[in-house]
Structure 1
């Protein structure tokens, strides 16, 4: 389930979710009480996740400890499937890649590093590439490629040797990060573990809504951006940061410097609004309601008589 479907399971009607989509699409202010409730539900989504069995268990019990047992069972099934349906030579490598994802996302630099899988220098795609490909084909992970430059068309700017790996389900990631992470999120510390879970949630929200995700990290520079997407026909830099953190230098540089990034959005635990730099501020759950990408077409001309 995505976050909108999670809300339906929690008893939030489709009429309200349609209004939320409209508010996000137009950048309209959201009532404080509604925004606070949605943020609480989003934190719950970060811990419970969207696997139907886990969501149903939470609906039935409202007890996250019960959900934890369901997530443990799901992870066990994933491991068994990896061992059963993969080539014998890749089985342990697939599990090693899977188990390394939480720690890789919990670093400040979340770019996937092959040598961190087996904790052995000199290892790379040759040793683990097919294992990572298996996880991707199995629908367990999303790949987010770095850009050589933040220019369109983004697909032609991809650096295939530099990427992040996101688990598709936030509940599974939180389970793998441990009970302390789950407790911190439940207590309101959304950015625990370098924001690993919230960034994962945003990545999947974008993918679910039809966006091709990329990030930008300039070599030998502090310039970096969590996501670069084409949003409403404009090249857009999307930053996920704590609500207490000011606009980053990177976001300002990309949207007001020599780069061709037309729009900037900061996703944080806060209200909707725009600042003096023209940066749009949206709440954590906003990308879950982004409109699907549309093909921009030129207006048709009236044929001459």
Structure 2
């Protein structure tokens, strides 16, 4: 079984005595149901799983239920022999967004307290927008992502000591040895090909065959497109969602790498805000990562967002390398000079930062250019710029230099991620190898500073 960091958070919640209902949300095929099922069966004598999407496709027993009495009666019909009490019975409501009325019912289910509950779903953001009564105070929402690079290393057999060593090197701005660097960079490049979707990772571990891995990735991407048809009622919007999703890869190959409104339908005069719902679907479903433009960076960054400038990345780098290179592993593994891995590196950095709790922004200034990523440094209440370089010229970064020279921004540190082994600081910029992205967690205030 693949190790997932979120397991400990789910288990801690279920054993804490907290009666709020935990909802695990994220894209399809990232392992939500599997991990909840594994933990639930281990912790509880009685584990009952209700998949609302499957229910809708079969007998629809839970489809039209609106009250608790009806819900408990139907629950007893399908799982009567497995229903005990709150301490020994966990009810897992899977794909909860499929029947949005249950999001409102969670408040009353919690108050009734007959059993312990946990839920999962995708498109929770959209479902909650359309929910008449949001159960604030009754739920805890936790986002889940596919395997990040650290979880990939664990799947490859790396132990805690090695991971602690890498993290210590990052914290203290130290370089690993040449042999360690080559091993880490090799694992990183394999991760670029396979990505972190559990079925793809398991297929790689079983076969080490890129053709088999790509077959899994192709099926998952088809599923993502089918979901647009399932959850969006308007045919025109379905087509636009698929169109924008298909555009992501081609847009990443452009210099600006952002979605241009007139390119979506091929019509001049189209405005960015006309497609707000389509963008919202792609992001809320978890199949695309949104990076918003900032022209005047101030902490916190969310207050300075440029609404009409947006970059989208795929949620999984393995899907990207499949789209770019098919079954050819050489462009990633062989360092072919004719291949520019810039878009691939930017995608993996977006993926890692998002999985580590960061909201994503980039710097866009007509005069000074672009910086790949800006993230909030909450511990120091400032902004941290991150530049991503896949080639040999990683010390050339005019836009980042201009950014740091601007005294109005009050930014004292920046990171450049590259392929080189050495970690060193030159002025305000620290250069470090690309695989250190696994260590850039969301900064937290130390516990001793949390009391007042």
TM-score (norm 1): 0.90
| Deviation digits for residues 48-69 of structure 1 (CA, Å, limit 9, x no counterpart) | 1111111111111111121111
Q: 1:157 to 1:103 in 2, by over 3 A?
A: same
| Aligned position for 1:281 | 431
2:418 match: 268
2:315 paired with 1:168: yes
2:423–2:433 Cα contact (<8 Å) kept: no
Question: Does residue 34 of structure 1 match 2:180?
Answer: yes
The answer to whether structure 1 residue 236 and structure 2 residue 404 are counterparts is no
CA offsets per residue over residues 93-149 of structure 1, 9 Å max, x none? 111010000001111111221222223322233543211211111111111111131
Does residue 21 (structure 1) correspond to residue 167 (structure 2)? The answer is: yes
CA distance in 1, matches of 2:266, 2:449: 56
Conserved? CA contact 1:255–1:261, under 8 Å:
yes
Counterpart pick for 1:79 among 225, 245, 248: 225
Residue 182 of structure 1: CA displacement?
A: 4.9
Mark the structure with the bigger radius of gyration: 2
Q: C-alpha displacement at 1:275, in angstroms? A: 4.1
1:125-164 to 2 correspondences below 5 Å? 125-164=272-311
Residue 250 of structure 2 is aligned to residue 103 of structure 1: yes
The DSSP-based 3-state class of the residue aligned with 2:297 is coil
Contact 1:191 1:198 (C-alpha < 8 Å) held by counterparts: no
User: Does the 8 A contact of 1:254 with 1:260 survive in 2?
Assistant: no
Check conservation: 1:228, 1:235, Cα contact below 8 A.
yes
User: Residues of 2 paired with 1:160 and 1:96: CA distance?
Assistant: 21
Deviation at 1:180, TM superposition (A): 7.8
Aligned to 1:187: 334
Distance in 2 (alpha carbons) for counterparts of 1:55 and 1:17: 19
The more displaced of 37-46 and 276-285 is: 276-285
8 Å CA contact retained: 1:272, 1:280: no
Check whether the contact 1:49–1:169 (CA below 8 A) recurs between aligned residues: yes
**SS of aligned partner of 1:285:** helix
Aligned match of 1:250:
399
- By relative contact order (CA 8 Å, sep 6+), the higher-ranking structure is 1
- In 2: Cα distance, 1:83 partner to 1:301 partner: 49
In 2, Cα distance between equivalents of 1:191 and 1:45: 21
User: How far does the alpha carbon of each residue in 1:141-189 deviate from its partner, in whole angstroms, 9 at most, with x for none?
Assistant: 1111111312222111111111111111001122222428753112225
Q: d(CA) in 1 for partners of 2:262 and 2:222?
A: 25
Unaligned runs of 5+ in 1: none
Partner of 1:216: 363
**Partner Cα separation in structure 2 for residue 261 and residue 181 of structure 1:** 41
Is contact 1:107-1:193 (8 Å) kept? no
Which residues of structure 2 form unaligned runs of 5+? 1-146
SS in 2 for 1:262: coil
Whole-angstrom CA distance in 2 between matches of 1:10 and 1:300: 37
Question: Which segment is superposed worse, 191-200 or 59-68?
Answer: 191-200
Native 8 Å contact 2:417 2:433 kept in 1: yes
User: Any conservation in 1 of the 2:292–2:306 contact (CA below 8 Å)?
Assistant: yes
Q: What residue is the counterpart of 2:198 in the other structure?
A: 52
**3-state DSSP class of the match of 1:161?**
strand
* Alignment partner, residue 110 of structure 2: none
| Secondary structure, counterpart of 1:226 in structure 2 | strand
**Other structure's SS at 1:216 match:** strand
Q: How many residue pairs end up in the alignment?
A: 301
Q: Take 1:218 and 1:255, find their aligned partners in 2: how far apart are those partners?
A: 13
2: distance between equivalents of 1:276 and 1:39? 23
Partner in structure 2 of residue 68 of structure 1: 214
2:262 pairs with one of 105, 115, 119: 115
2:282/2:288 contact within 8 Å kept: yes
Q: Residues 196 and 316 of structure 2 are in contact (CA less than 8 Å); yes or no, is this contact kept in structure 1?
A: yes
